[in-house]
Structure 1
């Protein structure tokens, strides 16, 4: 399909928190680097009854609040504001939708990107409204925020509703993790270097751990989070994308269809975890009161203000049943109120088959590759090294790290927000870093089996104190198999 750079970006939910924290600052960054098409306009829409000037004030305030002072520039701001327009609309008010459609037609001079920065329950309705007014045909693309739905059935219903108006190849499902520099660098590390790919398999790798840890609690999102929980909000959404990029086969080229085809193979190779397996292969937790960074914080139930069995932590032992990964456990965990904020992938290689230094008492540890994605981006390769000394009673070994600090190496480069890359790709019609329908549904199918197992067992999440690495049962799950979480 041939696409042209968008002439108009229309953001639904343009006054919301995501827009102010991430979307508008990302557009400001692209404007500052001269990456937005010269004639492209930006139309915000939401229920709020603002006019163009009031919305431009909101945009300017968001830039002042969320863009670092050293990156703010009045000329860039004024150039961005000159592109910005606003049209109030409510999807249940036909007259306001008709007025929005007329505004879109008036601003359009080519392709359009619609970004639905709203609840997924409005996706079908918004797309149907655009189609009804003749604004969903060729030359239009729609961005949808994940997670899509609450389970597989809901995801299928939403996807069916959206694709009644927009062809699948014009639907761009957003997982903002895929816009992060470190996540994209995982592909560069694997497929841009001859060193790692020959070792990236069950013959050489003992275990893989993927951790997404947050120090924050629910932060005013209690009602949403209590409906979702950690497995829907993070594991089905972000962690499984990291699993795909870690485990996928080399695509034939870096383009949308080839990359997505390899990712779906991983999801379809995940061994099901159902009613018979959940007790041994998964752990759900919920934080109680504790301390983060030396400051006391309340428990989840205190923040929520009611009783709940929603998990704020999940850990599991997954397997990918294919030739590359057969027998290698993938330990996945994510949680709120953890001791540190971090997203990392840890690959532990197998032990050397025979240590020639063991007779002298030198202990050897397996090599490991650690890919840290946030808060800092760095790559560590842990190797065994001779401990300095004369070693008259036998050579001694120490583990040392070859450490590539990407923040230091590229200190002169501005750290970009994930949505800068995602917006630029959507504007240019490149779907490589967006998620295809079959991926979302395969992920839900796997997660739904776990949720069904939990519901059938009827057990409550195990508690853990805020500021710790989750329930003791998560530690026991790895130790049963001779492994330990990296902390």
Structure 2
């Protein structure tokens, strides 16, 4: 088993991700006694700050982003005592020796969380190497974006691999840290009832939806260079698809789980032009509030997509003929992340002659904003049935919030940071997974280029372009709205 690191180094420690997610997550781990009392946490960024100034930045972030019931001044004070800071311009080698001097003794192990612009990956890795911060007892966590296509991803991965072995590289997809995503594996592999049906014989289709009500949210330049396909589908949605479709792993360890996921990703069939829809939000109203079009938010013309719908197929024995519908977008009707499994209908309706109508069973796995697993089953309505049998669809609910009401609800980065410190790579993404994802995504973008597929406008506050409904309807499918 890997040993826990005694030192954690956060790049981009004064940025938005650190303030909203990383520092509150580390405080939560500290509050619950899940990190060592002597863990040293160093932050680095370009801005000049003293240790005390960085602690004040962290204190302000905790007061802004922590829930009220977790703001214990005494524990906040002891957590801030873990923090130190060293300014660094990662684009040059000059400051890395000073960073190493500030870190001091790292013989107890160093974990690095690297969140940076793609063009800074290579100079940062060179700087870490030059300062002796890439040795055998150092592991590195990489926050996306890891490139913007297969070629640039390989450049970054090659640079990191030149300094770190694969088992010391932790590529982060924060969706994998969500409790409900991990419950997807428990649902599949800890319950005997699902496995006989979890294949083309039992399932008609699968839907994955990640919808947002927000627009650009201050990410103007990044998002316009990236778009919905690369921002959401390439990582989060394909990881969810892989977890749904993977074969049962031999064990719940990093090698077994990731081996099965990459098999799925390599089996994805290239998407044709009639199996994809691009969209961009226009003006409209979201939750009763008028909002501007994407180009107005951006302040420029653009052909960047804010919506994507895809019909995907997995060419293997288990899933042959089962479509996977993927849909994601900004400025949509509601915020939702969910997976819907629609099972095939029963082979014969014995209630048909008495007026009983059947719906196929559906399994709904909601990731956010609520967390639940809901199985929709058919039941008979109470009555004497003199005029026929009346059947109705009813839910069998497992509300994770209620079932585990006494358990601490954690944000994804708490688990991922703890796993990085402890050296458990199970919930992180391996290089061959990343490259299989990019290969599939690049092929979609090539279809867009060769067939001049520009985004269709859809009204903000809607569920996307009308063609996305046709995409599903052509397969006799209705989106789960």
**Superposed pair shares fold, TM > 0.5:** yes
Secondary structure of 2:95's partner?
helix
Deviation digits for residues 372-411 of structure 1, max 9, x if unmatched?
Answer: 0111100100000001211112111000000111111222
Secondary structure of 1:95's partner?
coil
Secondary structure of 1:11's partner?
strand
Shift of 1:368: 0.6
**How do 1:331-342 and structure 2 match up within 5 A?**
331-342=325-336
Where in structure 1 are there 5+ consecutive unaligned residues? none
Partner of 1:311: 305
- Contact 1:385–1:399 under 8 Å retained in 2: yes
- Contact 1:213–1:334 under 8 Å retained in 2: yes
Q: 1:448 aligns with which of 442, 445, 452?
A: 442
Secondary structure of 1:10's partner?
strand
Shift of 1:414: 2.1
Deviation digits for residues 127-165 of structure 1, max 9, x if unmatched?
Answer: 111111221010100000123100000000110011101
Shift of 1:266: 0.4
Alpha-carbon separation, structure 2, partners of 1:43 and 1:107: 13
Alpha-carbon separation, structure 1, partners of 2:106 and 2:50: 19
- Contact 1:41–1:107 under 8 Å retained in 2: no
Shift of 1:195: 1.3
Secondary structure of 1:430's partner?
coil
Partner of 1:478: 472
Secondary structure of 1:259's partner?
helix
Q: 1:158 aligns with which of 143, 156, 178?
A: 156
- Between stretches 301-310 and 112-121, larger displacement belongs to 112-121
- Contact 1:346–1:368 under 8 Å retained in 2: yes
Shift of 1:109: 4.2
- Between stretches 403-412 and 27-36, larger displacement belongs to 403-412
Alpha-carbon separation, structure 2, partners of 1:423 and 1:91: 22
Alpha-carbon separation, structure 2, partners of 1:399 and 1:304: 44
Report the aligned-residue RMSD. 0.9
- Between stretches 252-261 and 86-95, larger displacement belongs to 86-95
Partner of 2:197: 199
Shift of 1:107: 4.8
Count of residue pairs the alignment pairs up: 481
**How do 1:211-250 and structure 2 match up within 5 A?**
211-250=209-248
Q: Does 1:416 align with 2:415?
A: no
Deviation digits for residues 327-372 of structure 1, max 9, x if unmatched?
Answer: 0000000000111111100000001111011011211100010000
Deviation digits for residues 274-319 of structure 1, max 9, x if unmatched?
Answer: xxx12x1000000001111111111101100000000000001000
**How do 1:289-328 and structure 2 match up within 5 A?**
289-328=283-322
Secondary structure of 1:289's partner?
strand
Where in structure 2 are there 5+ consecutive unaligned residues? none
**How do 1:53-452 and structure 2 match up within 5 A?**
53-104=52-103, 106-273=104-271, 277-278=272-273, 280-452=274-446
Q: Does 1:40 align with 2:39?
A: yes
- Between stretches 311-320 and 123-132, larger displacement belongs to 123-132
